[in-house]
């Protein structure tokens, strides 16, 4: 009988210690250490042994690169996220909030893969086969090559993978499966690590593309994805506003492609539909009448520019210290922009609440949004409007200067295509002399931008 000992493992970052600690010294989170029982004996990991026996060091010059086989999902938004389809034998983590639609998009993808003649094994650790069948019927999937396997035990799953030898394996979800090699319960860091390891060895040794679904909660409190991220080849987040129907796929890590890509979908009863022109979607929500505190920016998410409305609300505070609230923008970014507006433009926010909202429920993390945010705040504070036909692009430095941004032409093309007439852009950005799709105003400083964009006074 193996001796058993216990370890305390941080469920956020995987830090291990022999005794309980209230605060994790690694990631600083409180109450995240959980006791996990482990056998005090190296448990034979069959998959790992097989792997070790067959692999030997090879000289770099002797390595021949085989054709990198890409398998298209037939969903162009998804393909773009992956950098042109699934790489055969890769391990992909699809993470998202509970109920956001992870099983739906995965099942839809399975349907497409089967239609292309691939054999797919869908391991359902959370839902029964009949539940999956119901969903498949709702999504209109009736494939011949789709195996559904309700199972939570990793060893059983491994056996079935070997028997069926599919092209694709789906694990829905990694938090619900357990391996006999580890004593702690399903969903713990040790279980997730062990199961992912086994899956990785299967994927690499048998060249089976494996998609692992993982849950994340808002506070990231659950074991899993963070620990998983460095183990897998590709990490894709599935996000969205619970109260709206569109969803976004975002690649956070990709060993085989670009990582700043975003794919946008609309969630309907019959599944997720691709949105190929997201600008229509985001700008449709915009009020047609110009209002103080609104500015349109052009962010560059991956290879595609996105036009987004930023709204600001500035008002006299009734709190001892004024409020700063952001939705879709990092709060420290707002603090910095406010500081620059105070120091370099002379606005005063010491008794003003400031709220920032990015319309459409998307997150804008790009510095090129700075100028738009600043103008939304400035126009709201002065009760004037930004011309609704104008887009605003630029990063703001601490001394109030406007820094150039990347991919400027692509952004301008998109703005012109969406019917905008004027663009305020950084002075240092180079534009071909014959570029005439949109009226361009170059600004060096934040104060120039404010002068350039305010067209009419409203009282």
Ligand X SMILES: Nc1ncnc2c1ncn2[C@@H]1O[C@H](COP(=O)(O)OP(=O)(O)OP(=O)(O)O)[C@@H](O)[C@H]1O
Interacting residues toward ligand X by CB under 6 A: 96, 98-104, 126, 138, 215, 267, 269
Binding Mg ion (rule: CB under 5 A), the pick from 103, 108, 254, 379 is 103
Separation in Å, CA 433 to CA 409, 437, 440 = 12, 11, 11
Instruction: Tell me the closest approach of the beta carbon of residue 354 to ligand X, in angstroms.
Output: 33
**Nearer to ligand X among residue 193 and residue 215 (C-beta):** 215
Six token digits for residue 144: 């011949």
Residue among 101 and 278 whose Cβ is closer to Mg ion: 101
Using CB under 5 A as the binding rule, whether residue 124 contacts Mg ion is answered as no
CB-wise, 157 or 381, nearer to Mg ion? Answer: 157
Residue 12 found at the interface with Zn ion (CB under 5 A): yes
Question: Least CB distance from residue 208 to ligand X, whole Å?
Answer: 22
Which one of Mg ion, ligand X, Zn ion, none interacts with residue 13, CB within 5 to 8 A by kind?
Answer: Zn ion
**Closest to Mg ion by CB, 103 or 379:** 103
15: contact with Zn ion by CB under 5 A: yes
Least gap, CB of 224 to ligand X (angstroms): 12
Q: Which of ligand X, Zn ion, Mg ion, none lies near 140, with the C-beta cut-off 5 to 8 A by kind?
A: none
Please report how the helices 370-382 and 446-453 are oriented relative to each other, as an axis angle in degrees rounded to 10: 60
The nearest distance, CB 134 to ligand X, in angstroms, is 9
**∠ CA 334-451-286, rounded to 5°:** 60
Q: Which of 221, 223, 219 is nearest to 186 (CA)?
A: 223
d(CA 412, CA 420): 9
* CA 457/CA 382 separation, integer angstroms: 9
Q: In whole angstroms, how close is the CB of 242 to ligand X at the nearest point?
A: 8
The C-alpha atoms of residue 323 and residue 338 are separated, in whole angstroms, by 12
Q: Of all residues in this chain, which one has the CB nearest to Mg ion in the complex?
A: 103
Residue 414 and residue 372 in contact, taking contact as beta carbons nearer than 8 Å: no
27 binds Zn ion (CB under 5 A): yes
Tell how far CA 253 is from the center of its chain.
Answer: 9
Could you tell me which of 84, 136, 137, 149 has the C-alpha nearest to residue 110?
Answer: 136
9, 24, 391, 392: residue in contact with Zn ion (rule CB under 5 A): 24
Tell me the number of residues near Mg ion by CB under 5 A. Answer: 1
Choose between 126 and 363: whose C-beta lies nearer to ligand X.
Answer: 126
DSSP 287: -
What 3-state class would DSSP assign to 214?
strand
The residue among 228 and 312 lying less far from Zn ion, judged by its C-beta, is 228
In 241-303, at which residue ranges do the beta strands (DSSP E only) sit?
246-254, 262-268, 271-274, 294-301
- Nearest residue (CB) to Mg ion, 106 versus 254: 106
Pick one of 6, 7, 13, 418: the residue that binds Zn ion (CB under 5 A). 13
Contact status, residue 213 vs residue 126, Cβ threshold 8 Å: no
What residues from 262 to 321 belong to the interface with Mg ion (CB under 5 A)? none
Which of ligand X, Mg ion, Zn ion, none lies near 104, with the C-beta cut-off 5 to 8 A by kind?
Answer: ligand X
Give the span between the Cα atoms of 309 and 364, in whole angstroms.
10
Question: Looking at beta carbons only, is 18 or 65 nearer to Zn ion?
Answer: 18
Nearer to ligand X, 139 or 232 (CB): 139
**The only residue of 9, 10, 110, 380 in contact with Zn ion, by rule CB under 5 A:** 10
Query: 360, 305 in Cβ contact below 8 A?
Result: no
Place of tokens 């619900």: 176
Q: If contact means CB under 5 to 8 A according to the sort of partner, which of Zn ion, Mg ion, ligand X, none does residue 251 touch?
A: none
Q: Which two tokens stand for residue 45?
A: 């990991």
CB of 225 to Zn ion, least distance (A): 14
Among 269, 267, 270, 292, which Cα is nearest to 281's?
A: 267
Are 95 and 236 in contact by the 8 Å Cβ rule? The answer is: yes
Interaction partner, residue 10 (Mg ion, Zn ion, ligand X, none; CB < 5-8 Å by kind): Zn ion
Q: Under the criterion CB under 5 A, does residue 109 sit at the interface with Mg ion?
A: no
CA gap 224, 186 in Å, rounded: 11
Q: Which parts of this chain interact with Mg ion (CB under 5 A)?
A: 103
Residues forming contacts to Zn ion in the complex (CB under 5 A) are 10, 12-13, 15, 24, 26-27
């Amino acid at each position: 009988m193996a001796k058993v000992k216990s370890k305390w493992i941080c469920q956020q970052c995987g830090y291990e210690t022999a005794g309980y600690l209230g605060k994790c010294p690694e990631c600083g989170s409180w109450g995240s250490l959980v006791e996990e029982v482990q056998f005090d004996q190296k448990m034979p990991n069959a998959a790992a042994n097989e792997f070790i026996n067959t692999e030997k060091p090879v000289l770099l010059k002797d390595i021949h690169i085989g054709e990198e086989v890409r398998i298209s999902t037939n969903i162009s938004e998804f393909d773009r996220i992956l950098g042109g389809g699934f790489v055969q034998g890769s391990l992909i983590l699809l993470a998202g909030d509970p109920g956001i639609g992870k099983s739906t998009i995965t099942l839809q993808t399975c349907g497409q893969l089967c239609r292309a003649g691939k054999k797919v094994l869908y391991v359902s650790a959370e839902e029964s086969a009949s539940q999956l069948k119901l969903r498949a019927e709702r999504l209109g999937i009736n494939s011949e090559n789709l195996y559904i396997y309700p199972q939570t035990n990793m060893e059983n799953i491994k056996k079935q993978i070997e028997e069926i030898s599919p092209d694709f394996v789906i694990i829905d979800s990694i938090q619900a499966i357990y391996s006999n090699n580890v004593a702690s319960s399903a969903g713990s860091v040790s279980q997730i690590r062990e199961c992912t390891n086994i899956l990785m060895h299967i994927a690499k040794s048998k060249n089976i593309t494996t998609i692992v679904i993982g849950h994340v909660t808002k506070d990231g409190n659950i074991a899993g994805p963070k620990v998983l991220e460095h183990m897998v080849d590709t990490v894709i987040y599935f996000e969205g506003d619970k109260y709206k129907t569109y969803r976004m796929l975002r690649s956070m890590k990709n060993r085989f492609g670009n990582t700043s890509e975003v794919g946008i979908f609309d969630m309907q009863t019959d599944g997720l539909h691709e949105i190929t022109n997201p600008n229509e979607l985001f700008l449709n929500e915009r009020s047609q009448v110009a209002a103080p505190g609104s500015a349109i920016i052009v962010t560059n998410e991956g290879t595609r520019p996105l036009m987004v409305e930023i709204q600001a609300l500035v008002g006299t505070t009734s709190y001892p210290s004024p409020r700063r609230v952001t939705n879709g923008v990092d709060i420290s970014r707002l603090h910095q922009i406010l500081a620059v507006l105070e120091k370099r433009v002379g606005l005063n926010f010491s008794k003003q609440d400031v709220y920032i909202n990015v319309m459409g429920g998307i997150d804008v993390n790009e510095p090129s949004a700075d100028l738009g945010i600043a103008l939304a705040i400035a126009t709201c504070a002065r009760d004037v409007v930004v011309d609704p036909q104008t887009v605003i692009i630029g990063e703001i430095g601490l001394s109030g200067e406007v820094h150039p941004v990347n991919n400027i032409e692509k952004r301008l093309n998109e703005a012109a295509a969406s019917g905008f007439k004027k663009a305020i852009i950084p002075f240092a950005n180079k534009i071909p002399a014959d570029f005439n799709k949109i009226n361009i105003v170059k600004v060096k400083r934040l104060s120039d931008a404010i002068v350039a964009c305010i067209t009419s006074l409203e009282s």
